[in-house]
Amino acid sequence: MRIMREFFLAGGRRLSYVDFGGPGVPLLAFHGHYNEASAFAPLAEALAPRWRVIALDQRGHGESERAPSYERDDYVADIEAFHRQLGLGPVSVLGHSLGGVNAYQYAARHPGRVTALVIEDIGAVVNCDWSFTERLIPGAPSRQDLVGALGATAPYLECSFRQLDDGWGYSFDLEHTVRSQKALNGDHWSDWLRVTCPTLLVRGARSDELAADHAREMVARRAGRARLVEIPAGHVVHHDAPVEFVAAVRSFLSEVEE
């Protein structure tokens, strides 16, 4: 793969994305909180060359600029600008957690622009707990110190580690992340039910974010247009069970693109 990082302006704010390259069918990908576009590198490699993953650093994450607002409409507008910047027609879209809500809201509000949707471990009703964010160590003198302080959560955040002037920290801001998490909370059933394209909902069987009953209800209320796959994993399915996650995504996309 020939990986390229690009930048563009959306609403006067600079956003960045990573194009993992290749000749394949484009798949737009949107990460969750604490992550950035680079989190999808293993997925992009596994799906190549049939699919070409293009992932956005969403506002306030990665190399994209911080923002004064992290409301639902802000994120959806960023995706619209990103899609337009790429000059692509209708595409498949994948989103995890925060990125999953952003993805299905984009699909609901721009139905002709999304051909297939993969939503990873997030519901139609979100009740996000930001206490973890408030407890995160803001930085450390070295990368090793940061990893040690984070313990078991370090592997989930390491794609966002950055060397700063005074040590090591993250490519996201803790205060901004809390604001984004608060704005993510709410009842989003209306958007979920407006999605018309084929949809795969992937749930981690050990998820503390998406309850099994809620996932089944999401699929049942879109009978015939959505399906559920449960994988032995936590909330970050693509990290905990990458082989199984890739297999589910590949099978679904292959079927809908026939």
DSSP state of 140: B
198: confidence class by pLDDT, cuts 50, 70, 90: very high
What is the reported pLDDT for 73?
Answer: 98
> What was the pLDDT predicted at 150?
97
49: number of Cβ within 10 Å: 11
Is the model's pLDDT at 258 over the cut of 80? no
Q: Is residue 144 part of a domain?
A: no
**Mean pLDDT of the 103-120 span:** 97
* Alpha carbons 181 and 38: distance in angstroms, whole number: 21
Q: Say if residue 104's pLDDT is above 90.
A: yes
Kindly state whether residue 194 falls inside one of the protein's structural domains: yes
Mean pLDDT of 8-14: 95
| pLDDT for res 157 | 97
Cα angle 52, 55, 60; round to 5 = 175
Mean pLDDT of 206-235: 97
Phi and psi at residue 189, to the nearest 5°: -55, -40
For the question of whether the overall pTM of this predicted structure is more than 0.95, the answer is yes
* Structure token digits, residue 26: 């484009």
List the domain range (segments joined by +) for residue 204. Answer: 4-124+174-256
Measured CA to CA, the distance from residue 192 to residue 173 in angstroms comes to: 29
Q: Is the pLDDT of residue 31 over 80?
A: yes
Confidence of residue 214 (pLDDT cuts 50, 70, 90): very high
Query: What's the mean per-residue pLDDT of the chain?
Result: 97
Task: Tell me the C-alpha distance between 101 and 155, whole Å.
Answer: 23
- Cα 119 to Cα 29, 107, 127, 233, 252, distances in angstroms: 10, 11, 17, 15, 12
125-171 tens-digit pLDDT: 999 999 999 999 999 999 999 999 999 999 999 999 999 999 999 99
Q: Is residue 193 part of a domain?
A: yes
pLDDT above 80 (res 222): yes
Query: How far, in Å, are 42, 74, 138, 158 from residue 152 at the CA level?
Result: 20, 32, 16, 11
Instruction: Kindly state whether residue 41 falls inside one of the protein's structural domains.
Output: yes
Residue 72 lies in a domain: yes
Determine the Cα–Cα distance for residues 113 and 106; give it in Å rounded to an integer. 9
Residue-level pLDDT at 2: 84
**CATH, residue 33:** 3.40.50.1820
For residue 215, the model assigns a pLDDT of 98
Quick check: is 141 in a domain? no
Write out pLDDT tens, residues 242-256: 999 999 999 999 999
Number of structural domains (the chain) is 1
* pLDDT given for residue 63 in this prediction: 98
Asked whether residue 147 is domain-assigned, the answer is no
- Can you tell me the distance from the alpha carbon of 68 to that of 79, in angstroms, rounded to the nearest whole number? 17
pLDDT, average across residues 170-180: 97
In a domain, 159, yes or no: no
> Can you give the pLDDT at residue 257?
85
Amino acid, single-letter form, for residue 31: H
